[in-house]
Amino acid sequence: MLTPIAYGLAIVLGVFVVFIGVRFLVAPQSSAAGYGVPAKKDGDSAYLTIKGVRDSVYGLLALALIAFASAHAVGWYMLVVAIAPLGDMVIVLRHGGPKAVAFGVHFATAVVMLINAALLFAI
């Protein structure tokens, strides 16, 4: 019973991160606003593209590990990659973004990833 839950959550997280990355590539301005730190209209969009590529790669790597590696490997990946949304939370807070986004999106994502890591280590 634990195995489908752990892998199901991992798949959802991987697909969700790919979606976020693709959204940053397709609609960078609105994605940045949803991230919690709106981008300047005349700013350098390269940084938004970098975030899109980074998130897409993180999500695809998660899905590849789910398909081809052990549950423990996926668990270690989730444990380490949970640093990214924690860093995103700090960035939003340091730049005056909404606390609701910092904690409700970024911190919550990190917590779900850590729970997923624990579930994967348990199987």
Per-position pLDDT tens, the chain of length 123: 999 999 999 999 999 999 999 999 999 999 999 999 999 888 778 989 999 999 999 999 999 999 999 999 999 999 999 999 999 999 999 999 999 999 999 999 999 999 999 999 999
Residue with tokens 């209209």: 41
CA angle in degrees (0–180, nearest 5) for 79-85-90: 125
Which pLDDT belongs to residue 45? Answer: 85
Provide the domain limits for residue 52.
2-122
Task: Return the pLDDT at 42.
Answer: 81
- Report how many domains make up the chain: 1
Q: Are 116 and 10 in contact (CB under 8 A)?
A: yes
Give pLDDT, residue 41: 83
CA distance linking residue 101 with residue 42, whole number of Å: 24
Distance CA 78, CA 94 (A): 25
- Residues 1, 119 contacting (CB under 8 angstroms): no
Which pLDDT does position 9 carry in this prediction?
98
